Homo-oligomer: A and B are copies of this chain.
Amino acid sequence: MTRATNPSASPTIGIDLGGTNLRVALVSRDGDIVAEEQVPTPDTFEDLVAAMAENVRGLTPPDTVTAVGVGTAGMVDFEGTVHYAPNLPMLRRAPLGKSLRETLGVPIVVDNDANAAAWGEVCHGAARGCRHALLITLGTGVGGGIILDGGIYRGAHGFAAEVGHWQLDPDGPPCACGEPGHWEAAASGTALGELGRTRAAEGRAPNVLARADGQVDEITGYHVGDAAEAREEDGLAIIEEYAGFVALGFVGLANILDPEIIVVSGGLVALGDLLLEPIRAAFDHHLEGADYRPAVRVVAAELGSRAGVVGAAAFARELEIDG
């Protein structure tokens, strides 16, 4: 049996497009990365499509690719057109799916990168076997993927799961999108650094400040995390305060969506239970009717930064099976 006649058993291609890097990976049906290319994200739409095609061809023998999955930052419709992506200015109503399909001559599925990562965790990671799951990425912003009834939920137009963009506190820090006090602005990894700087400026984070060589403006979330890992009181306190903001968002999303599990991804999950335990404690405390419902598990993602390409490849595999 050749790869061409049994495509679902052969590796598939997943692409993860971010503001900084373009990753193209050949992924096995078990979710392992067989081979991968990573290049800086090109500046123009034409160069981007060309770079994607070139790297796909570089990873696969001619005529063996049967479908490609792409996860990209931004709002993506069901045709694979990227309508808006704050960190990818060349993508404004950009027909990414159509252009890549014309270039490669195979079916293409394009979805939001957080959806791809969520699907990766469902197919091969921390949410395996779950039919109702949230994946929340705490990074530069807050990304989200929503799994409902066993599939990615994309909404009426493909724009669902902008989970960070609702007001948590009108007096909170401004969101990258321009709105005041969105959850994203309080719960992102960026916000953790901000909180560290604020507490240090107040004289309440001496150990965190020392880790940034005494420079308040140099404090990032990493310094806070390092202090917490060393069990320094100020680092632990800032993590706990931050975890409270994260948990308030989980509570709202769980009240709306009633998931079985919330998978937390992003660099901060390296902190493990130092971060997750205070999130869980605050979450259980605030969840509506918590005494009357099964517990919602809050767990760390398992695939790390490869969730996006792995999930995108899983999208492609479904295209092959459907087709």
Contact assessment for A289 and B167 in the assembled complex, using a CB-CB cutoff below 8 Å: no
- Given A131-B156, A165-B255, A168-B170, list of 9 further CB < 8 A pairs? A83-B289, A144-B256, A156-B259, A160-B256, A162-B258, A166-B166, A166-B252, A167-B252, A252-B252
Q: List 20 A-B contacts (CB under 8 A).
A: A75-B289, A83-B293, A148-B148, A155-B257, A155-B258, A157-B294, A158-B258, A159-B293, A163-B256, A165-B251, A166-B166, A166-B248, A166-B249, A166-B251, A166-B253, A166-B256, A167-B248, A168-B170, A252-B252, A256-B257
Contact assessment for B256 and A256 in the assembled complex, using a CB-CB cutoff below 8 Å: yes
Give the chain B neighbours of A155 by CB distance below 8 A.
Answer: 132, 257-259
Check A153 for interface membership: any CB of B closer than 8 A.
yes
Q: How many residues of A contact B (CB 8 A)?
A: 48
Chain B residue, CB-CB nearest to A179: B286
Render A251-283 as a binary contact track against B, CB cut-off 8 A, 1 for contact: 111011111100000000000000000000000
Query: Smallest distance from the beta carbon of A106 to chain B beta carbons, Å?
Result: 27
Q: Oligomeric state, in number of copies?
A: 2
Contact assessment for B160 and A257 in the assembled complex, using a CB-CB cutoff below 8 Å: yes
Chain A contacts with B in 275-311, Cβ cutoff 8 A: 286, 288-289, 291-294
What is the bound-complex CA distance between A243 and B166, given in angstroms?
16
Give the chain B neighbours of A168 by CB distance below 8 A.
Answer: 167-168, 170
Check A93 for interface membership: any CB of B closer than 8 A.
yes
